[in-house]
Homo-oligomer: A and B are copies of this chain.
């Protein structure tokens, strides 16, 4: 359906949106916890869970993106675009690891 070679996560799009909605709900839950003066350590446990869920989404998206780019590259033989893709992906990984 899509003609874009670099948007590789459409196949599981609905799944990612669902996971992000759950994460949104978890963030709202943390807001409530803070408002209701919940025990700090419980709030932190929840924040760690959200961070993990976000990282898992990010890694899933990255996996699909690279897979998609690489598949197109084998078809197109476009080595230069692939070089650019790797450079971009590496920078994204760097930001994820440092976040």
Contacts and interface: CB of A to CB of B under 8 A. Distances in A.
Contacts of A13: 34-35, 37
A79 B74 contact: yes
Interface residues of A, number: 70
Interface of A: 2, 4, 6-10, 13, 16-17, 20-21, 23-24, 27-28, 30-31, 34-35, 37-41, 43-45, 47-52, 54-55, 57-59, 61-67, 70-71, 73-74, 77-79, 82-83, 85-99
Instruction: Tell which of A77, A79, A86 has the most Cβ of chain B within 10 Å.
Output: A86
Contacts of A20: 27, 30-31, 34
CB-CB nearest 9 A-B residue pairs: A40-B65, A51-B99, A48-B95, A63-B90, A48-B99, A44-B92, A47-B58, A20-B31, A24-B27
